[in-house]
Amino acid sequence: MVEEGKLASDPDHLDDLTILRLTQEIKDVEASKNPLVGDFKPISVLLSEYKDATFRNKIKALGGGNAGYRPVRGDGNCAWRAFAFRYFELLSKLSKEEIEATSNGLQARTSLLDEAGYSDTGYIDFVEETFNLFQKLPDMTPEQVVTEFNNAEVSSAIIVHFRLLAAAYIKTHADDYIPFIDQGEGADIGEYCNRNIEAFSVEADHLALSALVNSMITVDLGVVYMDRSAGDEAVVHKFSPVESSAEGRPPSLKIDLLYRPGHYDIFYK
Amino acid sequence: MDSQNTAPAAFSSHKMQDAPAAMIDSHSVTKRLQSELMQLMMSNVPGISAFPISDSNLCQWTGTISGPEGTYYEGLTYKISMTFPPNYPYHAPVIRFVSPMWHPNVDMSGNICLDILKEKWSAVYNVQTILLSLQSLLGEPNNASPLNAQAADLWDGNPAEYKKLMMTHYKDIDEINDQ
Amino acid sequence: MPQALLRSPGSTILAAAARLRQRNLLDRLLNWYIDSVRSHFALHGLRAIKSPDIPGIMSDPISIGNSVRRVLSTLCDALHHYMFPISFLYAENSNKEDMLARIRFRHSLNAMIDIALSDHEFQLMAHLLVEHQLAACGRNEEQQIVDREEDEPKRLAFLTGIRQQIDILGVQDRMERIVADVYHTFIPRYVSRQYARIWEQEERQESLMVELKDLIYGPISRCIATLIRRDELLEARLFELATESLVKLGIKEAFDMVIYFPDSIPALEYLKMCLRTQEHRAQLVTAFQNACHARLLHCGANTSDIISFYMSTIKVFRLLEPRGVLLDKVSRPIRRYLRDREDTVKCIVYGMLEVEDANTGDLSELGKELAAASGAQNADAVDDNDYFNMNWVPDPVDAAPDFRNKRSSDFIGSLLSLYDNKEVFVKEIVVVLANRLLELKNYEIDREMMHLELLKLLFGESDLHNSDVMVKDILESKRVDSNIHDPTTVAPGTYPVAGIVHASMLSRLFWPAFRDEDLVLPPVIEEQLNRYSAKFSILKSARKLTWLKRLGTVDVTLELEDRTLDFTVSPDRASMIYLFQDKPTYTLNELMARLNLDEAMTRRALGFWIKNDVLKEDETCKDKYILLERAEERKKKMLLDDAAESSVQTAEEKATEEMRIYWSYVNGMLTNIPALPIDRIQSFLKMLIPKEVGYSRSVDELRDFLTVMVAEEKLEFVSGSYRLKK
C-alpha cells in the first residue's frame, strides 16, 4: 500500500498522458459549472451579486427594462468567445443576403493571414469552421447559435480564427501598434502576438480588441468597464474600425461587452 | 491513499454526465492528428519523424530527431515522446526526450523548456513545427533560462568539455529501442 | 544335349550305389552330386540360356516369344538331365527316405532354375512377351483390331506351350507375378492410349464401356488364363482395374475438358458418374490444381484467358458436383492468382461493359452474363435454411470449413468475390465508363445507360451514384449542345459556333481525376471554344466552362499533295499535325513547346503520324520531323506502342500513387518503432490513413508490397518483423 501511494503522489512517476488528463479534468470540473456561453439574464441578476455601492450604482446606471447580460465561461478566452458569439447571434437575425455579404467580407480578410505569414495549412481548419457556421446561419435561430457555441470544437476553432485575424492585423500594421507594446517585455511584434493573441486561453487586452475590430471591419465594439473606479456610471470604451465598409454593405454590427476585472461577459442594452 | 487514487476517476465520470458540451470531441482530435500524420508522412522532412505508438490511441506518439549539422548534436539521433491532450490543438502536447539528453533546456527526466510548448503555444502549430522547433533548439538553446545550468555554462565557455559531457550521456537509439 | 543321348548307368555303377546305400553313405553321394550339378549349371547352364542378341530382338514379338521358349526349353532339358541319374539312385514310390532325398534334390534344382529365371534379361523378355500377347488382344495404335479370329488359336497354342514348360519347371508363381505386373501397367496404359480425349459423343461413352468389357472378359482373360492358373475373380479384377483407369484418365483430363467445354459435356457426365470415392475427389482436386499451376497460372497466360478458364471451371465443376465443394477447392489457387494479377479488375470490368480491347481480350461473355443474371436473380439459389426444400442434401464431408454454397454458375458473383470489397471494381468501372463516355460522339449513351443499370443491380445504387451523374452529364450536354448550336438563340455579344464543335459538360466532382495539363490548340479551334463558352455562360447564367483540352476526339482530313487522308484522333495529335500546315519541319523541342506537351506525349503523337506515313524523322537530324507531302515508299517504320492514351488516371496509376503514400507511412512507422510484424503494420495503416485517401488492402497485398520493398533493399525481414534496412 505504501509503495502504491508513493507512486501515485510522485509526479515523476505519472506519465504525461495522466498528468494532462488530470489537469484537464480539474479544469473541466470547474468549467462545467458554467457553460461556455450561458443564458441571457436580466440586469437585476447582476445587481443581486453585488453589495458594494459603487458597483450597484454603476449597474443601476446601465439601465433597466430590457437590459441584461449573458455570462461566458472564464477560461481565458471569454472576451474572444463573447465577441464571436455575439457576432453570430446578431448575424442570425439578419437576412440571408446580409449574412452572405458579411461572410464574403470576412472571407476577403483571410488575405490578412497570408500577408502576416501564416501558412494556409496551419489556419485552414479553423477558418473553415467559421465559414461552416456562416453556411448554416441563415436557417438558424439565435437559440441554435447558443447551442453551437457550447460545442467546444466549433467555438474554439472560431476563436482561433478570430485570434489569428487580430494578430495578423497587428503584424501587418506593425507601425501603428509598436508604440503601444510594453517595451520591457521584448518589443518584438511577433513575440507579442504569439504570447498574447495567438496563444489559446490568454485573455484579450485592449490592443487585441482594437486589432480584432480593425480586422473585422464590420463591427463596432463597446466595452463597459464595471470596476471600482470613482463615478456613478461605468466607463465605456468604444472601438471602431479604422477602415469602414462601403455604404453599409455588409451591415455594421454593434457588440457590447461587460468587463469586470479579469472577465468579460456579453452585455445587452 | 486509496481515496487519492480513486478521486480522478470519480471526477471524470461526474464531468462526463454534467458537461458533455465542454469536452472537445475526441473524434475531432483523432481526425486532426490523422491529418497531421498524413502531412508529416507526405512532406518527409529529413531529420525529423514521428508516429503514433499504437493504432488504438492516436494521442501518444513517438518521434525521432536528428541533431542539425554544425551543432554539437550533428550525427546523433534522439527519441522523444509526444502526448496530445484531448483538446489538442487548442492546448499544447507534452513532449519529452526519451533518450538521455544533455542540453541547457532539457532536464534529466527529459522535460523540455521550450516557449512554444508552454506559454507561446498556439493552435496553428502542429507536429511538424514542433519537431522543427525542437531540432533547432538543439543548435540554438535558450541559455538565459536553463534547466541544466552546467550545460548552459559550457555551451559557449568550453565546447570541448561540452561535447565530452554530452557524449557521455548519449545513448544510441537502437539501445533505447532495445530497452 | 538331346534326350536320346542319355544312357542308363551300367551294372557296376548301380552296384556301387547299392553298396553306398548299405553303408548309409548315399547321402554323401547326393551331396556331392548336388554340388557337381550346381557348378555344372553355373558353368554351362546359365551361359546356355543367355540370348545372344537381347537389344536386337526387343522390338520383335516373335523373336521374344522364341527366345523365351528357348530359355524355357533349355531349362527343361537341363532339368531332365540332372534328374536322370537320381531316378536310378532313388526309386520312385520307394521308401520315405528316398522320397525325401528326391525332394531335396528337386529343391536345389528349383533354386537353380529360379536363379536362372530371375536373370534381368529373362525378366524383361517375359514381361515383353506377356505385354505383346495382351496388346495383341486389343486395338493397336492404328485402332485396328489385330487379332483376327483365326489368329487367336495360334497365339493360345503358343502360350499353352509356354505354360507346359512352366509347369515342368514348377515356376508358376514367378509367371503369375510377371503377368500381374504386366496387366497392372498394361491396362491403365491401354485405356489412356485408347480412350484419351474422347469426350464429344454421348454414344461413344456407352460403347466404350461395352467394348472394354468385351475385351477383358474375352481375349485378355483367355490369354491370361492360358498362361497362369485360372482364378475366378480374374475378370472382375481386370474390369475393375479398367474402370478405375478410366476415372483416373478423366481426372487427368479434367483440365482439358474445361478448355474444351462445352464440347466435353458427355465425358464430364461420365466422369461425374464414376467419381464415387473420396480418394477420387481428392485426386481430381490435386490433379486439377497441378495442371492449373503448370499450364495456366504463370506469367505467360493472359489474364482474360485465365478469367475465361475460371468461368469454364465454374461451369464444369458445377456440373460435376452441384453443391460446389469441389469447385470451391479447385478454384482457390486460380482465385489467389487472379487476385495478384494487376489487370484482373480491368479485364473483368471491360468484360462486363463489353469493351473490346486488344490487351484485355474478349470477355464479352461476362456482359451477357450480367444481362442474363439481372433477369433471373437468385432463381437457383440453394437456401440451407429452407426447411421445405425436399431436395436438400448436406455438404460432402470433404467440404472446406469455410465453404459457403454460392449460387450455381454465377460467374460475376464469383469474380466479384475475388476481392474483399467491391470498391476496386467500382473504381475501375468509373474509370472505364468515364473513358467510354468521353469517347462518344453524338451523345449516344443507350448502351452505357443499359450497362450502368445492370451494374447498379450488382453494386447498389449508392456506389455508382457518381456514374449516374456522369451519364446525366452527357444527357444534359446533348441538350445544352443543341441549344448552343440553335441559330435562333443568338444573343448579343456572341457568335455562332461552328457546327463541328461539340462539347460534353462534366460535373467535375463526380468524374475521376483528369490529367489537367493544358494543351495548346490551333487558334481557330480556340476561337470556337471561346464562342462556345460565351454561349454557354448565357445559357447557364454565371457558370463558366473550363475546357479539358486533352480529352475528346477530332475528325481530321489531311489534304496532302498526292493524297487525302481521314483520321479520328485525340486533340493533341490533331493539334500537332495542324502545326505542320504552316511549316513542313519541326524539332521535338519546338513541338513540345508549341503544344505544351511533355516529351512522352509528344513522341507518342509523333509515332502515330509516322506510323501512318504522314510524318517522318529526318534521317540526317535526330528529333527533327518532316511532313511527307508525297507518300514515300514504305520503309522500316518506327513501331511505337499505340496503346490508346487513356485520358483519365487509370486505377493502376492510382494504385501506384496510393502505394507511394503507404510507403511513406511504413517508412515513418519503422523509423520510430524499430520492428513491426505485418499485422501491426496492417492495423496501423487501416487506422491511420485518413478516409479520404483510404486503405483497403488485404494483408496478402500488403505482404506482396513489403516483399517488393525487401527486394529493393529498403526493408529487411528479421524474425517475423519488418525493419528499415540501414
Whole-number pLDDT of residue A265: 92
Residues of B catalogued as catalytic = 113
- Identify the weakest region by mean pLDDT among C227-236, C551-560, C674-683: C227-236
Measured between beta carbons, which residues in chain A are less than 8 angstroms from residue B59? 17
Which of these, B82, B117, B119, lies nearest to A17 by C-alpha position?
B82
Whole-number pLDDT of residue B66: 92
With b meaning 16 or more CB within 10 Å and e meaning fewer, what string describes C95-107? eeebeebbeebee
What share of chain A has pLDDT > 70, as a percent?
Answer: 85
- Identify the weakest region by mean pLDDT among A55-59, A178-182, C609-613: A178-182
A195/B109 CB distance under 8 A: no
pLDDT at A17 over 90: no
C412 Cβ contact list (under 8 Å, min separation 6): C352, C366, C369, C370, C373, C458
> SS3 of A224, please?
strand
DSSP C42: I
pLDDT band for position A57 (cuts 50, 70, 90): confident
Question: Is A39 in the B-facing interface, judged by CB distances under 8 Å?
Answer: no
User: To which H or E segment does residue C374 belong?
Assistant: helix C364-375
pLDDT at A66 over 70: yes
Evaluate whether chains A and C are touching (3 or more beta carbon pairs less than 8 Å apart): no
Distance CA(B29)–CA(B52), nearest Å, equals 13
pLDDT at B15 over 50: no
Measured between beta carbons, which residues in chain C are less than 8 angstroms from residue B49? 668, 671-672
Cα angle A76, A77, A80 (rounded to 5 degrees) comes to 145
User: To which H or E segment does residue C558 belong?
Assistant: strand C554-559
Distance CA(A89)–CA(C189), nearest Å, equals 95
Distance CA(B156)–CA(B137), nearest Å, equals 15
Length reported for chain A: 269
CATH of domain C554-627: 1.10.10.10
Whole-number pLDDT of residue B136: 92
Bridge partners (DSSP) listed for residue B60: B83
Domain-embedded: residue A16: no
Task: Please compute Rg for chain C using Cα positions.
Answer: 42
Whole-number pLDDT of residue B78: 93
Distance from CA of B122 to the nearest CA of A (A): 4
CA atoms A222, A228, A230, A233: torsion sign: positive
Measured between beta carbons, which residues in chain A are less than 8 angstroms from residue B19? 28, 31-32, 35
C672/B64 CB distance under 8 A: yes
Measured between beta carbons, which residues in chain C are less than 8 angstroms from residue B61? 672
Distance CA(C489)–CA(C540), nearest Å, equals 13
User: Which of B87, B107, B112 to mutate: most A Cβ within 10 Å?
Assistant: B87
- Residues of C in CB contact (< 8 Å) with B are 661, 664-665, 667-669, 671-674, 680, 683-684, 686-690, 693
Distance CA(C245)–CA(B46), nearest Å, equals 69
Residue A8 has its nearest CB partner, among B4, B32, B122, at B4
Listed by start position, the domains of chain C span 1-118, 124-252, 257-420, 432-539, 554-627, 651-724
pLDDT at C190 over 80: yes
Whole-number pLDDT of residue B1: 40
Taking only the tens place, the pLDDT of each residue in B16-51 is: 333 333 344 567 788 889 889 988 988 888 899 999
User: To which H or E segment does residue C660 belong?
Assistant: helix C651-672
pLDDT at B163 over 60: yes
pLDDT band for position A2 (cuts 50, 70, 90): very low
Whole-number pLDDT of residue C640: 39
Name the pairing type of β-strands A253-260 and A263-268: antiparallel
ipTM field: 0.82
Chain A, 163 to 192: residues with Cβ < 8 Å from chain B are 163-164
Where residue A64 falls (left for φ over 0; alpha for ψ -120 to 50; beta otherwise) is beta
Which residue in the block uniquely carries the three cell numbers 506518439?
Answer: B61
Would you say A146 and A37 are in contact if contact means Cβ atoms under 8 Å apart? yes
Question: Is B90 in the C-facing interface, judged by CB distances under 8 Å?
Answer: no
Average the pLDDT over C20-33 and give the result.
81
Question: Is B98 in the C-facing interface, judged by CB distances under 8 Å?
Answer: no
| SS3 of chain C: helix, strand, coil, percent, to 5 | 60, 5, 35
Top-confidence residue, C365 or B145: B145
Average the pLDDT over C253-281 and give the result.
81
Taking only the tens place, the pLDDT of each residue in C95-120 is: 777 788 888 888 888 888 888 888 77
User: To which H or E segment does residue A235 belong?
Assistant: strand A235-239
pLDDT band for position B87 (cuts 50, 70, 90): confident
Domain-embedded: residue A18: no
Distance CA(B85)–CA(B92), nearest Å, equals 7
A125 Cβ contact list (under 8 Å, min separation 6): A157, B32
The most confident of the ranges A96-110, B11-25, C135-149 is: A96-110
B51/C686 CB distance under 8 A: no
Would you say B112 and B96 are in contact if contact means Cβ atoms under 8 Å apart? yes
In this complex, which chains have at least 3 CB pairs below 8 Å with chain C?
Answer: B
Bridge partners (DSSP) listed for residue B30: none
Number of structural domains (chain A) is 1
Whole-number pLDDT of residue C400: 61
Question: Is A156 in the B-facing interface, judged by CB distances under 8 Å?
Answer: yes
Q: Which domain holds residue A138?
A: 36-268
Measured between beta carbons, which residues in chain A are less than 8 angstroms from residue B87? 24, 152, 156
Domain-embedded: residue A231: yes
DSSP C512: P
DSSP A218: S
Calculate the CA C430 to chain-centre distance: 31
Q: What backbone phi and psi angles, to 5 degrees, belong to A71?
A: -70, 145
Task: Please compute Rg for chain B using Cα positions.
Answer: 18
C482 Cβ contact list (under 8 Å, min separation 6): none
Residue type, C17: A
Q: What is the CATH number of the domain that holds A220?
A: 1.20.1300.20
Which residue in the block uniquely carries the three cell numbers 506593425?
Answer: A174
Distance from CA of A185 to the nearest CA of B (A): 14
Residue A25 has its nearest CB partner, among B12, B39, B96, at B12
Residue type, A230: A
C72 Cβ contact list (under 8 Å, min separation 6): C162, C165, C166, C169
Residue C455: CB atoms within 10 A of its CB come to 23
Whole-number pLDDT of residue A3: 39
Distance CA(B86)–CA(B125), nearest Å, equals 16
Distance CA(A78)–CA(A83), nearest Å, equals 8
Distance CA(A192)–CA(A207), nearest Å, equals 11
Distance from CA of B54 to the nearest CA of C (A): 7
B18/A126 CB distance under 8 A: no
Whole-number pLDDT of residue C158: 85
Measured between beta carbons, which residues in chain B are less than 8 angstroms from residue A119? 124
Taking only the tens place, the pLDDT of each residue in B100-117 is: 999 999 988 888 988 888
The most confident of the ranges A46-50, B63-67, C601-605 is: B63-67
pLDDT at C656 over 50: yes
> SS3 of A239, please?
strand
Which of these, A162, A41, A37, A55, lies nearest to A109 by C-alpha position?
A162
Evaluate whether chains B and A are touching (3 or more beta carbon pairs less than 8 Å apart): yes
Whole-number pLDDT of residue B120: 84
Going edge to edge, which strands form the sheet with C624-627?
Answer: C585-587, C624-627, C615-617
Distance CA(C303)–CA(B150), nearest Å, equals 70
Question: Is A199 in the B-facing interface, judged by CB distances under 8 Å?
Answer: yes
Domain-embedded: residue A19: no
Which residue in the block uniquely carries the three cell numbers 550521456?
Answer: B169
Bridge partners (DSSP) listed for residue A265: A258
Average the pLDDT over A228-239 and give the result.
84
- Identify the weakest region by mean pLDDT among A64-68, B120-124, B165-169, C385-389: C385-389
Length reported for chain B: 179
pLDDT band for position A84 (cuts 50, 70, 90): very high
Distance CA(C504)–CA(C440), nearest Å, equals 10
Residue A195 has its nearest CB partner, among B12, B85, B119, at B119
> SS3 of A221, please?
strand
With b meaning 16 or more CB within 10 Å and e meaning fewer, what string describes C254-270? bbbbbbbbeebbbbbeb
Length reported for chain C: 726
Whole-number pLDDT of residue C46: 77
Q: Closest-CA residue in chain C for B175?
A: C674
Which residue in the block uniquely carries the three cell numbers 479384377?
Answer: C237
DSSP A37: B
Average the pLDDT over C531-556 and give the result.
79
Taking only the tens place, the pLDDT of each residue in C374-433 is: 544 444 444 455 566 566 566 666 666 555 555 444 677 777 777 777 777 888 888 888
C394 Cβ contact list (under 8 Å, min separation 6): none
Find the helix packing angle between B2-18 and A16-32, rounded to 10°.
50
> SS3 of C133, please?
helix
Residue C9 has which C-alpha cell? 548307368
Taking only the tens place, the pLDDT of each residue in C307-331 is: 888 888 888 888 888 777 888 888 8
pLDDT at A81 over 90: yes
Calculate the CA C152 to chain-centre distance: 45
Give the C-alpha distances (Å, rounded to integers) separating C445 from C201, C369, C436, C449: 45, 21, 9, 6
- Identify the weakest region by mean pLDDT among A67-71, C169-173, C680-684: C169-173
Domain-embedded: residue A187: yes
Which of these, A15, A57, A72, lies nearest to A234 by C-alpha position?
A57
Whole-number pLDDT of residue A249: 64
Measured between beta carbons, which residues in chain B are less than 8 angstroms from residue C672? 49-51, 53, 61-64, 79
Distance from CA of A238 to the nearest CA of B (A): 28
Which of these, B123, B98, B60, lies nearest to B179 by C-alpha position?
B98
CATH of domain C651-724: 1.10.10.10
Distance from CA of B105 to the nearest CA of C (A): 23
User: Which of C658, C664, C672 to mutate: most B Cβ within 10 Å?
Assistant: C672
Q: What backbone phi and psi angles, to 5 degrees, belong to A13?
A: -95, -5
pLDDT band for position C268 (cuts 50, 70, 90): confident
User: To which H or E segment does residue B105 belong?
Assistant: none
Domain-embedded: residue A26: no
pLDDT at C511 over 60: yes
Domain-embedded: residue A23: no
